[in-house]
Amino acid sequence: MNITALFRVFIVLLAVDAFSAVASAQQKKSASPTNQTKKTTNPTDQATLLGQFGEWGAYKATPGGKKICFALSKPTLATTEPAGRNRDPSYAFVSTRPGEKVKNEVSVIVGYPQKPGHDATAAIGSVSYAMYTQNDGAWVKNAAEEAQMVETMRKGADLVVKSESARGTKSTDTYSLKGIAQALDRVAEECK
Domains for the chain: give ranges and CATH numbers: 3-33+45-190 (2.60.40.1880)
Angle in degrees, 0-180, between the axes of helices 180-190 and 146-155, rounded to the nearest 10: 130
Q: What's residue 192's pLDDT? A: 84
Q: What's residue 190's pLDDT? A: 94
User: pTM to 2 decimals?
Assistant: 0.78
- H or E segment at 5? helix 3-30
Measured at the CA of 66, the angle between CA 185 and CA 161, to 5 degrees, comes to: 50
Q: What's residue 47's pLDDT? A: 86
Mean pLDDT of each 10-residue bin along the chain, 192 residues long: 42 46 37 35 63 97 92 96 91 95 95 94 97 95 95 97 95 98 97 88
The beta strands (E) that lie in 44-192 are given as: 47-53, 56-61, 68-73, 77-81, 91-97, 102-109, 120-124, 127-134, 137-140, 158-164, 170-176
